[in-house]
Homo-oligomer: A and B are copies of this chain.
Amino acid sequence: MGGLPMARIRVAIINVTGYVGADLARILVRHPNVEIRSVTGRSEVGKKVGEVFPHLSQLDLTIESETADVDLVFCALPHKASAEAVIPLLKKGVRVVDTSADFRLKDPQEYQHWYEYAHPAPDALSRAVYGLPELHHEEIRNAQLVANPGCYPTSAILALAPAVKAGIVEGPIIVDAKSGVSGSGRTLNLASHFSEVNENVAAYGLKGHRHLPEISQELNALSKLGPLSLTFLPHLIPMTRGMLSSCYSRLNTGVTPRAENAEAEIRAMYKAFYAKSPFVQVVDYPPQTKYTLGSNMCLVHPAVDQRTGTLIVISCLDNLVKGAAGQAIQNMNIMMGFPEASGIDMLPLYP
């Protein structure tokens, strides 16, 4: 870059009025390589961003119904609405990071099964790249459309990918995930009503949560031992931001690492796996979500329950940053050739 300041690219945020959209705006306002040119909303059109979100009052933009011409669009709409907004952009040749689920699954049948309607642009699915930089860095660099992973899949896949790729677990795999409430979004809902959620913990999605097929798709692609048997159960806990996944699977018999020093070997293998990933830190202590609040870091801690030969991996992250907006910007950085950590190297807010 030879001493010259890099030109800023122009970006738009579709649906800035949800939590993911607002967090995209919050982080992008301070991004050295970006100018937010345009923001849209499904409600609040015509208002200044700062009227809806006082914490963004420095962002002097009016919420519009249509996106301006820009270099890259972040689409933060819910699924279905997102595909409808993204498809015309693709045709115009605009690069897109989509934070919805619409382009995450490769198989349109699988999409139809989980989302209960036919995908509106099945052809686009094969061209979209699953935006987990730790697994798909090269493809993301060249992608026109990046499908930003869900928060649960990010935490679960990062926790399990090294073990699955190494073939040291034979399943069944259990992913027991605990999420803060902001993951449910800003739309009103009795399940996000303060008096219902506070001082409460609840499992949900026992009949199958829509984030499961993403996790399976990505882990199966890494598995040498065939498709995995995966049970995923999310829980809502009384906090705003943060997600912790506790993953369990029996270690393969006869496979290194051996019981004696299994934990050390596995941890070393995890560290090697993520050696070039600036936003995954393999740690030697059980991590807590508080160590990630507001940051783009995912902390991963593999451990071995020697009594039962079980691999336990704890991962945690901020569901709106590494689990959504931060990771979307990480993907943009890779697509645009910016330093991967540009604008997203915030330290966690503690306590």
Expressed in whole angstroms, the Cα–Cα distance for A312 and B288 within the complex equals 25
Chain copies in the assembled complex: 4
B241→A199 contact, CB < 8 A:
yes
Tell me, in angstroms, the Cα distance from A328 to B196 when the chains sit together: 23
How many Å lie between the Cα of A26 and that of B290 in the bound state? 14
Does A142 make an interface contact (CB < 8 A)? no
Q: Which 7 A-B pairs have the closest CB atoms?
A: A55-B348, A195-B351, A188-B188, A200-B290, A176-B176, A202-B288, A55-B350
Asked if B206 and A312 make an inter-chain contact with CB atoms under 8 angstroms apart, the answer reads yes
17 examples of A-B residue contacts, CB within 8 angstroms? A26-B347, A26-B350, A54-B287, A55-B349, A57-B281, A172-B250, A180-B195, A186-B190, A198-B199, A199-B293, A201-B242, A201-B244, A231-B307, A233-B246, A235-B246, A293-B349, A346-B346
Contacts of A336 in B (CB 8 A): none
A-side interface residues, number (CB < 8 Å): 81
Interface residues of A in 185-239 (CB under 8 A from B): 186, 188-190, 192-204, 206, 208, 229-231, 233, 235, 237-239
Contacts of A195 in B (CB 8 A): 19, 180-182, 186, 192, 240, 351
Asked whether A188 and B190 contact (CB < 8 A) given A30-B347, A195-B181, the answer is yes
Docked complex Cα distance between A250 and B181 (Å) = 30
Residue A120 CB within 8 A of the other chain: no
Given A231-B305, A286-B206, residue A181 in contact with residue B198 (CB < 8 A): yes
Given A195-B19, A347-B55, are A201 and B294 neighbors across the interface (CB < 8 Å)?
A: no
A262 at the interface (CB under 8 A from B): no
